[in-house]
Structure 1
Amino acid sequence: MLEKWLEEFLEFLRVERGLADNTIAAYRTDLKHFCAFVARRQFSLDPSSLRDACLCYLYELNAAGYLASTVARRLAALKSFCAYLATQAGYLPWDPAEELSSPKIPERLPKVLRPEEVERLLTAPRTNTPQGLRDRALLELAYATGMRVSELVGLDVDHLNLEAGYVRVLGKGGKERIVPVGRVAQHYLREYLEKAWPRLVKDRRTSALFVNRRGGRLTRQAVFKLLKDYARQAGLTSAPSPHTLRHSFATHLLENGADLRVVQELLGHVSISTTQIYTHLTSTRVREVYRRAHPRSRKTEP
């Protein structure tokens, strides 16, 4: 029965909340883990028993050494699921997870590449092959716009307007935003569409902007792999993720005087508090530059 309720909840997230497929897949993975725990420990489905199940489940996650961020994510999914069962679906008379509190997560600043590292990464692809030209266009667009990897691989050719210099991005929850595209990215996108895209697509009918060598839409996993390969070629000490380019995009804009509200709009953040993490990064950078550059910053008092 719990598995049936889970499928109904996931459909609710898709239809009523309009959540992206990747988000729903993450909910499915986390909640299936909980459902398996309930079945293994033979908890019943009345609210009191489910409340005990939630508590035992959290205890087991902590005892197994899961990161606080993982526990918090699974608890958030569990609380959403239980709230749905009690309020929207009416399967439970009250919410068994309502009073559960999330573990405190230590703030971790996202990894950001320096501008010179971005330059090395973006120039790593060899543009004398269709795949290399595609990769250069993809990396340039990722850094030029700060798009999420799911947004990037979800682009269609008609989402681009290179004459006007912008791309139409379909973000989380189906929300659309318009993001400017810089001249360097425009150049490589034109080159890719004129010289590489037709050779990759061949006779296949597709609207996808970034395609693999068989003409199918490029996947998120493929983007992670190509970033890892080019990071190694560029001599970077650690492989950046697509989100690293997004973080770098935002941080470099703020370091060069961009308004926080503008960066929020470009990133597609619903709340500005999400964008404010980058102000911590820029202040850290300012302090580092000050300590390095000011002649009396490292001296002790006489």
Structure 2
Amino acid sequence: MDKHVELFLDYLSVERGLSKNTILAYRSDLKDYTGFLEAVSKKSVSASSREDIRDFMLHQKDKGLCVNSISRALAALRMFYRFLAREKLIKSDVSSYIDSPKLWKKIPDVLNLDEVERLIEAPDLNTPQGVRDRAILEVMYATGMRVSEVAGLRLTDLNADVGFVRCLGKGKKERIVPLGTKAVASVARYLEKVRPRLAKSGAQELFLNRSGRRISRVSLWKLIKRYARKARIKKPIRPHILRHSFATHLLERGADLRSVQEMLGHANISTTQIYTHVNKDWLRSIHKTYHPRG
């Protein structure tokens, strides 16, 4: 890969403190771009132009990539070229004034309350794995934490007496999120009955796999899908579906947007606003109750 890309990725890791997953996404996008430059434009990054970036975007579109993916790649390229210009590795930022493909904000898939209950109750509490998995699902729905954040929880992040958990989010930003009584009770059962059996000497992570090591985000993703099938949930199941459901259900019940933003760990409130859509049945009941001709 181009040496400039490696310098940029080091900058993101060391100086910006971005997560490993974010850096891997940037690496993938920039690898595609530098490969395109070499194969099609026959250029290096330092010799590239605005037209090369546009040609790359059209090439990605022809490959069938969705608008969101192309826009994400363009965002990576803009940051990359700004870095190169600031470090005087190129004469000017050639990514300036390139229009981004229009992004349609898609309303995320969410579960209704009945589906959430069925999902959380799917694990078998008569088995150690079921006790652990119930605790995981309760925490995910109670806090709206990302899958990677739940996987990274440590014992010291939990304050069961007060009912809060400390979360290290994107950009290593720390936030404190309430747990709720059901999640606290479920985690306490796991800590008492299951975790001591799994824990190897010195293990500090909250949720452990069968080998006594930190459970991975991939394992958590598979866990959610497995229990969704068991609960006979027909909706598309994605890693953040409990996070989306958490935010949506809070806002539907009157929580203010700023508080939900804080609990989700969003840097920009516009990211949180996507959850202001409401359940159609709930909207219909509001209309019927308050409209003079409802």
TM-score of Structure 1 vs Structure 2, range by shorter chain:
over 0.9
Any idea what SS the aligned residue of 1:85 has? helix
8 Å contact from structure 2 (residues 122, 231) kept in 1: yes
In the other structure, the counterpart of 1:52 is: 51
1:261 positional shift: 1.1
In the alignment, residue 79 of structure 2 is paired with which amino acid?
S
Q: Give the one of 215, 220, 229 matched to 1:218.
A: 215
8 Å contact from structure 1 (residues 227, 239) kept in 2: no
The more displaced of 119-128 and 239-248 is 239-248
Alignment partners' CA distance in 2, 1:27 and 1:111 = 26
In the alignment, residue 187 of structure 1 is paired with which amino acid?
A
8 Å contact from structure 1 (residues 50, 96) kept in 2: yes
1:26 equivalent in alignment to 2:25 = yes
In the other structure, the counterpart of 1:263 is: 260
In the other structure, the counterpart of 1:173 is: 171
1:258 positional shift: 1.0
Any idea what SS the aligned residue of 2:167 has? strand
Structure 2 residue ranges without an equivalent (≥5): none
Any idea what SS the aligned residue of 2:5 has? helix
Count of aligned residue pairs for this structure pair: 293
8 Å contact from structure 2 (residues 2, 45) kept in 1: no
In the other structure, the counterpart of 2:147 is: 149
In the alignment, residue 61 of structure 1 is paired with which amino acid?
Q
Q: Give the one of 226, 230, 239 matched to 1:229.
A: 226
1:41 positional shift: 2.2
In the other structure, the counterpart of 1:105 is: 103
Structure 1 residue ranges without an equivalent (≥5): 298-302
Alignment partners' CA distance in 1, 2:28 and 2:243 = 25
8 Å contact from structure 2 (residues 167, 177) kept in 1: yes
8 Å contact from structure 1 (residues 47, 94) kept in 2: no
Residues 16/183 of structure 1: CA separation in 2 closer, same or farther (3 Å cut): same
Alignment partners' CA distance in 2, 1:43 and 1:95 = 20
In the alignment, residue 212 of structure 1 is paired with which amino acid?
N
TM-score, normalisation: structure 1: 0.91
In the other structure, the counterpart of 1:91 is: 89
- CA distances 1:227-275 after superposition (whole Å, capped 9, x unpaired): 1110010010034223111111011111111111111111111111111
In the alignment, residue 14 of structure 2 is paired with which amino acid?
V
Any idea what SS the aligned residue of 1:14 has? helix
